[in-house]
């Protein structure tokens, strides 16, 4: 039996088990989208405790739709890296649950409350 997709032709974000989860590389970090600011920009609370204004790069604008409370990988800019960054990847719901279970988001959850 073939699995059916939702009405838009895309698979649901919550479908299937977690096979591989992309982790941040050397100069990247995790963050939680706090609010969308418009024009492809969002305010993100980062794992280092700073809040940055992050943008979705042009080649990802149509592919990467972020909403508040999404877990994302960001890369701070070389210039004004404490204030600005690029959003590189958005985790699906089942991947975000895996990150929580394995302790990657402990620092972020402690900062929020």
pLDDT tens, residue by residue, 1-57: 455 555 555 555 556 676 788 888 889 999 999 998 888 889 999 998 899 999 888
Dist. CA 89–CA 3, nearest whole Å: 25
Count of domains forming the chain: 1
Domain that holds residue 80: 29-106
Q: Is the pTM of this model over 0.85?
A: no
Burial of 36 from C-beta contacts in 10 A (0-12 / 13-18 / 19+) = middle
Burial of 45 from C-beta contacts in 10 A (0-12 / 13-18 / 19+) = middle
Please check whether residue 44 lies inside any domain of the structure.
yes
Please check whether residue 71 lies inside any domain of the structure.
yes
Please check whether residue 1 lies inside any domain of the structure.
no
Please check whether residue 20 lies inside any domain of the structure.
no
Please check whether residue 8 lies inside any domain of the structure.
no
CATH code, domain with 95: 2.40.50.140
Instruction: Report whether 76 contacts 48 (CB < 8 A).
Output: no
Work out the pLDDT band at 109, boundaries 50, 70, 90: confident
Dist. CA 82–CA 14, nearest whole Å: 33
Please check whether residue 53 lies inside any domain of the structure.
yes
Please check whether residue 16 lies inside any domain of the structure.
no
Instruction: Report whether 52 contacts 85 (CB < 8 A).
Output: yes
Please check whether residue 113 lies inside any domain of the structure.
no
């Amino acid at each position: 039996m073939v699995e059916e997709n939702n009405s838009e032709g895309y698979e649901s974000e919550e479908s299937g088990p977690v096979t591989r989860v992309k982790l941040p590389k050397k100069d990247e970090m995790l963050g939680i989208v706090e609010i969308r600011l418009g024009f492809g920009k969002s305010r993100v609370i980062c794992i280092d405790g700073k809040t940055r204004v992050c943008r979705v790069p042009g080649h990802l604008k149509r592919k990467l739709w972020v909403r508040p409370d999404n877990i994302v990988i960001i890369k701070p800019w070389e210039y004004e890296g404490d204030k600005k960054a690029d959003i590189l990847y958005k985790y699906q719901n089942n991947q975000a649950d895996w990150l929580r279970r394995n302790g990657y988001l402990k620092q972020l959850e402690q900062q929020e409350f």
